[in-house]
Structure 1
Amino acid sequence: MAALSLDGSNPDVSLLRDINGLAKHAPRWLDRVMVAVGDYGLILLMVLLVGWCWWRVARRGGAEAPAAVAGVVWAVLAGSVALLLNVPLRNFVDRPRPFVDHQGLDVLVKGRTDFSFVSDHATVTMAVAVGVFLVSRAWGLTGIAVALAEGFCRVYMGVQYPTDVLGGFALGTAVALLLAPLALALLTPLMTAVAGSRVGGLVRAPQAAGRAAARRGEPYPEPTAVDKDLAA
């Protein structure tokens, strides 16, 4: 991997220079925005997306709610597991950051001395996005778009090769998909038990609201388009 990065004519380095070259011609305020977005903003957006998806599946209620909430919980855990697996992987590959081997890059974030392959940010965001996709296609595709934007930002900032990002996407996707059957087999009974406990509102919030509405003689709320998508 290190030998590949030393060849400035290879596609990985060429694409790195093309994307990072945009930063050289951009105003400084835009570079600062890209750093804020690439380091923290898109991660926060993914957290909000997961929280929103959790709220929607819990609000929907029904017998499927525990399984759906288990899927959302797995999305979060998938990001954590993928990040942990990346620690030994980065040390094994031992690839320096691109600015170590290539002069002339516009590095927007200084002081990064850890290894480059694979990208933590790309790994976590894609793992969570694919986990959400298993629950809801619509919100999962939104999450995948966020992950792709994260990967672009990392290369734009000059701190990651494109293959670092692609490797992160592959690792995150593999963890979220391959471990999902086992994770959901364990998490679904747990969420079902939580649904019957005093904190069951975290899993089946609308059921209590539906019973209260029934006592008042009001109809149970109809599912929204998002709810139908989450049920798909």
Structure 2
Amino acid sequence: MTFDDELYRDITGFAHDSPAWVQHTAEVWTEAGILVFGALFVVAWWRSRRDSHHAFAIAALAPLATVVAYVCSELLKSGFTQDRPCRAVAAAAPSLAGCPPPGDWSFPSNHATIAGASAVALALVRRAVVWLTAPLALLMAFSRVFVGVHYPHDVAAGLLLGTVVAAAAVRLGRRPATRLAEAMRASSAPAVRWLTGPGPAAAPATAYAASHRRR
């Protein structure tokens, strides 16, 4: 038995002995975490509508970079074809979550990849949020081992993959995305202008109008 197998047994054993509310919270969070990151992407997009073209472009690229990381994770899964620990590790505690069917491979963890990519992409939009997104990503990755559906090395690889791919995707796409954002903000189509927002030029105009009303 490898060290990773032993660590998996220790974590799932701890999970099995945890209070019911802890188990339930982990089962909910391991899936709901993706929804939380999705909500943070929406918030980042909404706030960036009054930012510069460059800032808006990065906010728009953030979820796309996460999708690219997910696709890379799926491709790697197809190459490694590693079975899930909830089937492969002998004498481990029963998994809290249902063990995925055969053919749904384990390495790397898609959830951890999405979490790592989301955390980095959102931090590139606004650096201060890394204090929120990084702990959320780590908790989400750990929860995949806690509920028994991944090895520790699956989630470690997923976090690393998501981080690297998302950072690279944003870096490579930011210039064309900035040009696209500038063109879209110049569009005469109301729906397009609403989607991209007015940009930073609207802030002084709004302040001027407000001061005029006060007079």
> Structure 2-normalised TM-score?
0.86
Q: Are 2:92 and 1:104 equivalent residues in the alignment?
A: yes
Unaligned runs of 5+ residues in structure 2 are none
Partner Cα separation in structure 2 for residue 150 and residue 218 of structure 1:
50
Which of 197, 200, 217 aligns to 2:193? It is 200
Which of 11, 18, 21 aligns to 1:29? It is 21
* SS of structure 1 residue aligned to 2:93: coil
Q: Partner amino acid for 1:23? A: A
Q: Provide the residue aligned with 2:207 in structure 1.
A: 213
Q: Provide the residue aligned with 1:4 in structure 2.
A: none
Which of 84, 90, 94 aligns to 2:71? It is 84
Partner Cα separation in structure 2 for residue 37 and residue 132 of structure 1:
19
How big is the shift at 1:66? Answer: 1.6
Name the CA shift for 1:141/1:218 in 2 (closer, same or farther; >3 Å): farther
Structure 1 residue ranges, 4+ long, deviating more than 3 angstroms after superposition: 201-210
Question: Once the two structures are aligned, what percentage of the paired residues are identical?
Answer: 33
User: How many residues are treated as equivalent by the alignment?
Assistant: 206
1:99-121 Cα offsets, whole Å, 9 max, x none, are 11113223011140211000000
How big is the shift at 1:141? Answer: 3.5
Write out aligned runs for 1:40-79 (5 A).
41-59=32-50, 61=51, 65-79=52-66
* Deviates further, 80-89 or 16-25: 16-25
Q: Provide the residue aligned with 2:119 in structure 1.
A: 129
Q: Provide the residue aligned with 1:13 in structure 2.
A: 5
Q: Is the 8 A contact 1:119 1:160 kept in 2?
A: yes
* SS of structure 1 residue aligned to 2:211: coil
Q: Partner amino acid for 1:73? A: A
Q: Is the 8 A contact 1:109 1:157 kept in 2?
A: yes
* SS of structure 2 residue aligned to 1:160: coil
> Structure 1-normalised TM-score?
0.81
CA RMSD of aligned residues (A): 2.0
Q: Provide the residue aligned with 1:93 in structure 2.
A: 80
Unaligned runs of 5+ residues in structure 1 are 1-6, 220-232
Partner Cα separation in structure 1 for residue 100 and residue 24 of structure 2:
17
How big is the shift at 1:166? Answer: 0.7
Q: Is the 8 A contact 2:16 2:94 kept in 1?
A: yes
